[in-house]
Amino acid sequence: MRTLTAVDHLFLLLETRKQPMHVAGLCMFELPPSADDDFVTQLVDQIKSGKTTPSFPFNQVLKNVGFWDKDDHFDINHHFRHIALPRAGGDAELMAYISREHGRMMDRTKPLWEFHLIEGIAPIQDGAPKRFAIYLKIHHAMVDGIAAMRLLERSLSTLPDDRFMLPFWSLSTKYRSQIDATLPRHKPAWTIIKEQLGTIKPVAREILRGFKHRHRNNFISTFDAPKSLLNQRISSARTLAMQSFDKTRFANVAQKFDVTTNDVILAVCAGALREYLLSQNALPDKPLIAFVPISLRQDNSSLGNQLSFLLTNLGTHESSPIARLKTIKSSINDGKKRFSHMTQAQVINYSALTYGWAGINLATRAYPAKQAFNLIISNVPGNNTPLYLNGARLAGIFPASVLFDGQALNITLANYQDKLDFGITACSSALPNIDRLTDLIEKHIAEYENTTAE
């Protein structure tokens, strides 16, 4: 048996029927031109009849709340679902299905993951390849979303002729989360202790500097997020909306305005959110604040991840798209400067101290009027190489995330080849017609494409 970590415990304790704690991903595949009509049926038979056994953590079941233990009665039929949409359903029918599934808790008496293979999806247009999908659902206490996506990618091939790849649940994983990957490995205990002690002075100095500068115009504290429609209590009802965009569109806008591609992504999301909230007569006077994971790496000289999180001013109070983009660029740059002279250990400890209360407040709702951010917007690095499953090409990979009371919307996008695959997860009872957001994202990237730089 393995003891659950404190983070594992937290995700299990936070889970309720209206607040399930699983992450998910939707993978869209295109059948090869030579595929037989029973291609998907053959794939199902191949996977279910395989002799591979699940590896850690996919063979683990909860025991007495505090432990993971191997499931001696593992049954693939509980986890593997073969679904056919009625009468060649389109994207709307597919979204309806996975939205329902995303709102359902999983059975804690079994390993906490599901694999839905969905066929009967109509082609995008006449003459386009036939499609099927995989909806993968994993509890956050077992594996985080990025680690799950990496495992799924490893179960695919870069060669269209490869067959009989191992399913993701039979692959071993070194890290179950981004945090695992940043922690020191194979170091003497005293070295780790000295490193941690060495963070105290610079972290304290940076926190004090932030306190002194809290009244400056561009400074964002953990108390600045306004009340908004996005921050209501949630129900179990979910709406998932997904859309692919050409990455070069965002890169071209970034070059035109001398900003980063990530700045443009945030600005486009900000414009879409501003328009959505205006349509609901619910745009706050103060700008929305996004919690944004970022990379702090300056070059390729060091190993490991250089990750942190920034509170970012989205400039939604600005009617001008250029003004919003400038606000976002300034906010991101200010946050990066704060971390530029810190080691990874210092960044982790600084983030834990400054954002820790926000996580506790989000979990407990102790002070609902005081919140650090309005939503999470995350841009996940991906694979630039085409991937295949038994010859079927992976056309897109769309993340679906966790929602909390007070956080009714999440925007996560995955990079795959030359595309940005947006996955929007929302509580449909709190945010009516939120599936419009993908159309609004298209509208606002087009607006930047048609706007002249000053």
Residue 43's identity, in one-letter code, is L
Q: Which of 445, 46, 10 is nearest to 245 (CA)?
A: 445
Query: Quick check: is 140 catalytic?
Result: yes
In contact, 55 and 170? CB cutoff 8 Å: yes
Pairing of strands 67-70, 289-295: unpaired
In the structure encoding, which two tokens stand for residue 340, read together? 């530029």
Q: Which of 64, 34, 432, 386 is nearest to 239 (CA)?
A: 432
Q: Which of 264, 260, 36, 24 is nearest to 133 (CA)?
A: 24
Residues 6+ away with beta carbon under 8 Å from 183: none
Query: What does the DSSP assignment read for 304-359?
Result: S--EEEEEEE--TT-S-HHHHHHHHHHHHHHHHHHHHT--HHHHHHHHHHHHHHHH
In contact, 50 and 175? CB cutoff 8 Å: no
Reading across the β-sheet that carries 113-121, which strands appear in turn?
80-89, 113-121, 131-139, 22-30, 392-400, 388-389
First-residue to last-residue Cα distance in the chain: 62
Q: Is the dihedral of CA 147, 148, 150, 151 positive or negative?
A: positive
In the structure encoding, which two tokens stand for residue 219, read together? 């400074």
Residues 6+ away with beta carbon under 8 Å from 184: 191, 192, 195
Q: Is the dihedral of CA 260, 265, 268, 269 positive or negative?
A: negative
SS3 call for 239: strand
Alpha-carbon span 411 to 277, nearest angstrom:
15
Catalytic choice (79, 140, 186, 341): 140
Active-site annotation, residues:
140
